[in-house]
Amino acid sequence: MLDEDVKTQARSHTKCASCPVRHRAVCARANSDELTLLDSVKFYKTYQAGQTIALRGDPLEVLSSVVSGTATLSQSMEDGRTQIVGLLLPSDFIGRPGRDTVAHDVTAVTEVTLCCFRRKPFENLLVNMPHVQVRLLEMTLDDLDAARDWMLLLGRKTAREKIASFLLLIAHRSVANAEKTLANEVRIELPLSRETMATYLGLTIETVSRQFTALRKDGLISLDGTRSVFVPDVAALAAEVGDGE
Amino acid sequence: MLDEDVKTQARSHTKCASCPVRHRAVCARANSDELTLLDSVKFYKTYQAGQTIALRGDPLEVLSSVVSGTATLSQSMEDGRTQIVGLLLPSDFIGRPGRDTVAHDVTAVTEVTLCCFRRKPFENLLVNMPHVQVRLLEMTLDDLDAARDWMLLLGRKTAREKIASFLLLIAHRSVANAEKTLANEVRIELPLSRETMATYLGLTIETVSRQFTALRKDGLISLDGTRSVFVPDVAALAAEVGDGE
DNA sequence: CGGCTGCTTGACCGTCATCAATAAATGTGG
DNA sequence: CCACATTTATTGATGACGGTCAAGCAGCCG
C-alpha cells in the first residue's frame, strides 16, 4: 500500500457502533467481544480520487473494508489493455488473509475511506473471531458469484446489454442500504466515468458513449449532465439485459 | 442433483488414504480426526459424459470434490447464449456451504467421479474441522483469483490469445499433479470439445477451429487427432498470451 | 476568456459471428 | 470388417458489431 499523499485526517478513528457499514462489512456478525478486538487494531485511511491504493505484486500488509467511496480492482496486460475485475463499494473487503502479495491493482475512483487492519495481527485475531471468519468466507463466496455473473456479461452480452446490466447493478447496489427492492423509476448517480465504465464492461469509451445515446433516444433513460441517469421504467430497462442478473 | 442414471458402482467407497486428490482437495490439510469424520459421511458418485450434475436454482443438497474427470460450471441466458464460468478438474470443490440453492449449472464433460457430502451434516461437521474450513476459504479465494483472471481474458484478449491462454492453462493444470513447472515441450490432452472450449472462451466453435489451424500453420502447435495437442516450444506459445497468466 | 479534461459524434475498418458446405471422426448394424 | 449414419470439426463467404482514428462539443477551473 502507498502511504504518500494520504490526508492527515485520514487516520482518525471512528467508533464501530456508528460505522455506516457496521452491519454489512466483514464485521457484520461480530459480537461485542470480537468488535472490541477489531476496534483496538483498526485505523482509517482516506485516498483521493484517482490515487493508487495498491499494485499487483506489492507486499500485502494491510487488509481493509471500504467505508465510503468507490474503488476498482483491475488487471492489466503489458500493452496496457486493462480489465476491471471488481467494483469496491462501501462494505466490500480488500485483501486476502493468507496471501503475502497483492493480487490485483486497487484504485480509488472517488474519494475513498478504508477501515484498515495490519494483515498479520488481523490473521492472528481471526482464530478468535469465528463470526468474522464465517462472514469472510460468505463475502468471498458472494464475490465469486459476482465475478462469475460478470464473466457471462463479458463473454456473451452485447454492448447494449452490458450497459443496461451495469445501470441496473448500480441501481441495486445503491439502494442496498435501505430495502432490496427497486421502484418503477429510479435516479442513478454513476460513480464511474465513461472511461472507467468501459474498462469495467470490456468496451471502449466510444461504444459506452454511443450506447448511452442509443438508450436515451429509445426513451429508456434520460441524462442530467453526464453522471446522473434517470430510468423512467426499470422493467423496460431490465428487458434489455437478456437475463441472468 | 439428479439421481437417475447413476451407475450402481457409483456409490462405492474408497479409503481417503488412497484418494488421488487427498492432498489437494478440501481435505488437504485435514488431520486424522478430521479425516475420520469426513470418511464416515462421504460417498462416491459417478456421472457419464454429458450428464447434468446440477441445475441453477435446484436445492443444494450435496457438496462434493471432483475425484476424477472434468466438469463445467456454466451460466446461461434465456436465448441460449451460454458462458462457462469455471472448469472443474480433480480436487476442485463443488457447492457452497451456507447457501441452499445451486448458483450455476454443473455438467459432466467426461465421466466424472465425485466425493460427496450431504450439505447439512457437512456444515455441522465443519465447525469441528478448522483445517477444512481454512482450506475451503483458501480454495474459494483461489477460485476468485482464477475467475478474475478469466475476466481479463473474456473482456480484453483476442481469439488467438484466448486459445493460447487456454492451452497453457490446461498444460499447467494437468502437470499440477507432479511438479509445478512446465518442460520446454508439452503434449496436452484436451478434456474439452471445440464447442465446450468456445463456450469457455467466449467464442464460437468456428473461431476456435480457425485459431487452432492458424497456430498449427505458424508452427506453434501440432495436432494428433482433434484432442491431442503437441507444443514444441512452450515459451513461444506463452508469448502469444499477451500477459497475465 | 482560454485551456483543459471528459464526452459525444462521425467515418472507416478489422475481428469475430453467422450461415453454409464439406470433411473427418465416431458409432451402428449387417 | 465394411457400408452407412451421426456427430464433431474444418473451411469458406459474407456481414455486423464494436474498435480505431479523428474531429467537434460541453463542462470546469484558473
Residue spans of the domains in chain A: they are 8-151, 157-238
Burial pattern A209-219, b for ≥16 Cβ within 10 A else e, equals bebbeebeeee
Residue-by-residue pLDDT tens, chain A, 245 positions: 444 444 434 445 678 888 999 999 999 999 998 898 888 899 999 999 999 999 999 999 999 999 999 999 999 999 999 999 999 999 999 999 989 999 999 999 999 999 999 999 999 998 888 889 889 999 999 999 999 999 999 999 999 999 999 999 999 887 755 566 778 999 999 999 999 999 999 999 999 999 999 999 999 999 999 999 999 999 999 999 986 44
For A245 and C30, how far is CA from C1' in angstroms? Answer: 53
Instruction: Using a 7 Å CB cutoff, list residues 145-204 of B near strand D.
Output: 193-195
Q: What's domain B8-132's architecture?
A: Sandwich (2.60)
CB burial of residue A223 (10 Å; 0-12, 13-18, 19+): middle
- The per-residue pLDDT for A127 is 84
DSSP A13: -
User: Do residues B126 and B132 lie in contact, with contact meaning Cβ atoms separated by under 8 Å?
Assistant: yes
For A210 and C8, how far is CA from C1' in angstroms? Answer: 8
Which of A89, A95, A108, A110 minimizes the C-alpha distance to A21?
Answer: A89
- Strand C close to B158 by CB, under 7 A: yes
Q: Which residues contact A90 (CB under 8 A, 6 or more apart)?
A: A20, A21, A24, A66, A67, A68, A69
Nucleotide nearest to B196 (CA to C1'): D8
Overall fold of domain B157-238 = Arc Repressor Mutant, subunit A (1.10.10)
CA distances to A68, B41, B82, B112 from B106, in Å: 37, 22, 12, 11
Which of B70, B115, B68, B69 minimizes the C-alpha distance to B95?
Answer: B115
CA B180/CA A13 separation, integer angstroms: 45
Q: Is B239 on the interface with A (CB under 8 A)?
A: no
Say what angle helices A32-41 and A119-126 make with each other, to 10 degrees. Answer: 170
Query: Distance between the two ends of chain A, CA-based, in angstroms?
Result: 33
Q: Does domain A8-151 have CATH number 2.60.120.10?
A: yes
- The per-residue pLDDT for A174 is 79
For residue B182, what pLDDT band results from cuts at 50, 70 and 90?
confident
